Amino acid sequence: MQLTPKVKEILSWYESDNPGTKANLARILMEGKLGGTGRMVILPVDQGFEHGPARSFAPNPAAYDPRYHFELAIEAGLNAYAAPLGMIEAGAASFAGAIPTILKVNSSNSLSTTKDQAVTGSVSDALRLGCSAIGFTIYPSSEYQFEMMEELRELAEEAKAAGLAVVVWSYPRGPMLDKTAETALDICAYAAHMAALIGAHIIKVKPPTSAISLDAAKKTYEKHPVEVNDPAKRIAHVVQACFGGRRLVVFSGGEAKDEGGIFEEVRAIHAGGGNGSIIGRNTFQRPRDKALKLLSDIVAIYQG
């Protein structure tokens, strides 16, 4: 596999990492239709934990089968497939080496009343299953945010020592944030920056809205304005918060929406310098042929 100049440049950003971790980052960056471009589309299927099986898979019953998601990601030419332990175990042998996998090692569920996640996988699980990376969610602003960050630090240290990459879902939520604040521009940029500070190789956040939430931040943005009404400029600001663009940042697909809304977000991510999309429900809840067409169109936008 001949690395492209763009991928070599990205790998140079991670100056402290060993050859194993850089090789696994390269596996993700060089895979699929966007291989070598520095852009990524990743399929995440952790929604069964987060929302329950029927809410996740009833719209497309074929998706109850974990093998379906391996096949979808491979056929669509995506960069990687991310899922909790059981989902990856269910197809690990059949699809070994077919696509880079990311083991999501913590999870929440809709029966919980707390903004926290349980550790449900390990670095040794990721190595046993041939994964390229571990994935971990933190909830900045949660009552349990510091415990989550400490768990991530320990797991990230172990993963990096074993030559794995680290993907961090950074989703602000907690008692001081309402729904508007969770995706406000200043909060999304703050959450992305925290993930970079904790040592993430790939950072996942939600696309930011034009809202500015924190009073102290409002004063700063008044002195140093960002074009909050331009979606691409908002994306660029989040990328800037990730060490001036020297960390990979991808944006979630979020709740179910029509194709026009999806493409509008993807175009903004592309124009703003984001590294791609990590999109789940908006793909696997559609029939397979429609999901493949949607993913093909998303890839085409990132191809420019």
* The predicted structure's pLDDT at residue 210: 96
For range 273-292, the mean pLDDT:
97
Does 110 or 22 have the greater pLDDT score?
22
Confidence of residue 113 (pLDDT cuts 50, 70, 90): confident
254 — pLDDT class (breaks 50, 70, 90):
confident
- 257 pLDDT band (50/70/90 cuts)? confident
Cα(130)–Cα(162) distance, rounded to whole angstroms?
12
Q: What is the pLDDT of residue 214?
A: 93
What is residue 275's three-state secondary structure?
Answer: coil
Distances from the Cα of 253 to the Cα of 139, 202, 257, angstroms:
18, 16, 9
pLDDT at 50: 84
**What are the backbone dihedrals phi and psi of residue 43, each rounded to the nearest 5 degrees, phi first?**
-95, 115
Instruction: Of 80, 25, 96, give the one whose Cα is nearest residue 278.
Output: 80
For the stretch 118-135, pLDDT in tens is 999 999 999 999 999 999
The CATH number of the domain holding residue 173 is: 3.20.20.70
In the chain, % of residues over pLDDT 70: 100
Judge whether 28 lies within some domain: no
Please report whether residue 52 resides in a domain. yes
Domain membership of residue 20 (yes or no) is: no
State the pLDDT at residue 9: 98
Q: Look at residue 30 and tell me if it is in a domain.
A: no
CA pseudo-torsion sign 252, 255, 256, 262: negative
Determine the pLDDT at residue 166: 98
Residue 23 lies in a domain: no
Q: What is the pLDDT of residues 213-238, one digit of tens each?
A: 999 999 999 999 999 999 999 999 99
Range of the domain at 102: 37-303
The mean pLDDT of 230-247, rounded to a whole number, is: 98
Range 155-168 average pLDDT: 98
Q: Mean per-residue pLDDT for 26-45?
A: 98
At 257, list the tokens.
Answer: 């929406």
Report how far apart, in Å, the C-alpha atoms of 148 and of each of 119, 155, 186, 196, 283 are: 9, 11, 21, 15, 29
Residue 6 lies in a domain: no
Q: Taking residues 56-84, what's their average pLDDT?
A: 97
Question: Does the structure show a pLDDT above 90 at 255?
Answer: no
11 in a structural domain? no
Number of domains in the chain: 1
User: What was the pLDDT predicted at 303?
Assistant: 97
Mean of the per-residue pLDDT values of the chain: 96
Q: What local confidence, expressed as pLDDT, does residue 74 receive?
A: 98
Contact at 8 Å (CB) between 113 and 143?
Answer: no
Longest dimension (CA), the chain: 56
Does some domain include residue 298? yes
Is-above-0.75 flag for pTM?
Answer: yes
275 to each of 26, 132, 248, how far by Cα in Å?
14, 18, 6
pLDDT of 92 strictly over 80: yes
Share of the chain above pLDDT 90, in %: 91
Residues annotated catalytic, as ranges: 204
